[in-house]
Structure 1
């Protein structure tokens, strides 16, 4: 049964990737907001990260990150996200699996990426009250260095809203 659910999820993600244009013009997530949905032993994340939270992407030094620059640094961006956005409990650190990156461009300039919306999942054998979401990717701009997160577990009818900042970059999920 679980194998069928995994295949269905993978199929849904693949279809979504084919439907969404390489550069999204409609935002998938409000800037600096995210959701973490717990289903069984998985936690699915959607999170909008400002492009300014990443270093050394602007190759031509024009203070913009183009789709070409984004594509040239995609592996670096993925590694940075996997190191900087994770779950942990008192024993383990859980790494993001199946990471998808969706660059979101400025409404004023279609060749200027402002945010990256990430999606992926964590596999957590047991969801405990010690489970924490950690985000270690913040912009230097004070306007862009706060994330508003909503965590839900519909099976257990639990919801928790919290904010993450450079001073408090982690929070218990529930």
Structure 2
């Protein structure tokens, strides 16, 4: 039941934020927010990380192209954004992808894709690592992450790149 409520709240906040045309995250940044049940993820990814979704090959991802490639985008995110706990791979549950358009110019182009979901049952004491495989068209982007476990007073910042795609969390 709690998982259903969590997913419902994420979906509601997503729909409200899209209606307001506000960005949920700064591009190429993300957060992992821990509680006793796992870690909530919100991360903004450059759409050029998905070149196969750019059907007209113009170097930009349109809202229509996003819709057409949505099921493949979900699969790619599940394969490239995950956590490991020792040798155990943990995937995002309740995955939501939110395409964000620019506030200026042609609003049909997506300038970031916000990824939201939860890593259920991860334990910050068990060799926990966060992995990301998306770094833009030329692998030249960075992903600045912030992990926090408020109840325990833990905070960590780390940056991932195409050369270092994973980092130990706490």
- TM-score relative to the length of structure 2: 0.91
Distance 1:64 1:150, change over 3 A: same
Uncovered stretches (5+) of structure 2, i.e. residues with no partner:
none
Confirm or deny: 8 A CA contact 1:58 1:69 kept in the other structure.
yes
**2:10 maps to what in 1?**
13
Of 40, 44, 48, the match for 1:48: 44
| Matches of 1:76 and 1:13, distance apart in 2 | 21
Aligned to 1:137, the other structure's residue is in SS state coil
* Greater Cα shift, 154-163 or 13-22: 13-22
5+ unaligned residues in a row in structure 1: which ranges?
none
Q: Which runs of 4+ in 1 moved over 3 A?
A: 5-8
Q: Does 1:113 align with 2:110?
A: yes
Tell me how far 1:129 sits from its aligned partner.
4.8
Aligned length: 169
RMSD of aligned alpha carbons? 1.8
Number of the residue aligned with 2:132: 135
2: distance between equivalents of 1:8 and 1:93? 25
Q: How far has the Cα of 1:81 moved from its partner? A: 0.5
Report deviation, 1:7: 4.1
User: Normalising to structure 1: TM-score of the pair?
Assistant: 0.89
Deviates more, 1:100-109 or 1:32-41: 100-109
